[in-house]
Amino acid sequence: MTDKIKPQRKTGVAHFFAAASYSFMGFQRLLQESAFRQETFAALAGLIALPLLGVELPRVLGFLILMLMLMAVEALNTALEEIVDHLSPEWSQFAKNAKDLGSFAVACLIGANALYLLWALFL
């Protein structure tokens, strides 16, 4: 294993552009996950369908906020899985528990999105 030198921390405007670059790299990594691609498709489909179904703009924006939250939790779940796979390449109960908890967090937000859609469409 080779030692890598930690890059010097950027400040000011350079920090802003570096952070944007890191976020874009995270987005590119998430695109490799089928769950994230499915959630992105659902978000785009909802953003097209809801206005066509006559749903008011504030409710469409609520849907968008919940979908962005889902994508954020999906990103955190993927990061958790990456760390767990690195720390525990073999099967372990701690790794299973950590991954199951991350999956549960995603499932909770999918449920919140489903309930919100029912409310937005029918109430």
Helices (H) then strands (E): counts for the chain: 4, 0
Catalytic residues: 74
Tokens encoding 103: 């999956």
Residue 37 to residue 39: CA distance in whole angstroms = 5
d(CA 64, CA 51): 12
